[in-house]
Amino acid sequence: PRPRGPGGDASRMTASGSRDAAGTGLRVTLLGEGVAERAVAWSAVGFLLTLYLTPVVAAARPDLVAPLGALAALLPTLGAVALAARGRGVIPAVLLPFGPLAGYLVRALDPAVVAVPYVEAVGAALAGATALGLAAYVAGRGAALLERSA
């Protein structure tokens, strides 16, 4: 029988061992450690909040619709920076701002202006969340490196 590694898996002391370690490192970099599920849940909460708050704010105070969109992008991006600073993954950093941006854009885009409003809103939210999430990940990792060197 093969010796057991720390995770209960059989240890591989072959040339493929370095590939296994690289694959594990990539997985942790992309997904983080146990945070992806929470990021999906918080993204869904943000989606629902902005989906229902946008028309309420538009009816009560139309001048606050644009700041609501900025807030929907800013708050989860700050959370993504904090996650990245703690060594969590890229995908959770992208997922956090996606839900609130998608909820806001689904309600804020005028259906008369775009051909397929929901598809274009979700596509724009995905592009925006990817840009924000990647920037948040880089900023968070940079902050973590600066903190370690200080």
For 117-131, the DSSP string reads HHHHHHHHHHHHHHH
Encode burial over 43-78: b for 16+ CB neighbours within 10 A, e otherwise: beebbeebbebbeebeeeeeeebeebbeebbeebbe
Q: What is the pTM of this model?
A: 0.73
pLDDT band at 83 (very low <50, low <70, confident <90, very high): confident
Residue 14 phi/psi, 5-degree rounding, is -120, -175
Residue 25 has pLDDT above 80, yes or no: no
pLDDT band at 35 (very low <50, low <70, confident <90, very high): confident
Q: Which residue has the higher pLDDT, 14 or 67?
A: 67
Residue in the structure block whose two tokens are 């591989």? 12
Q: What is the pLDDT of residue 45?
A: 94
Name the average pLDDT for the chain: 81
Residue 54 has pLDDT above 60, yes or no: yes
Residue 124 has pLDDT above 60, yes or no: yes
Q: What is the pLDDT of residue 39?
A: 86
Q: What is the pLDDT of residue 14?
A: 46
Residue 73 has pLDDT above 80, yes or no: yes
Q: What is the pLDDT of residue 125?
A: 92
Give the pLDDT mean for 75-94: 88
Residue 108 has pLDDT above 90, yes or no: no
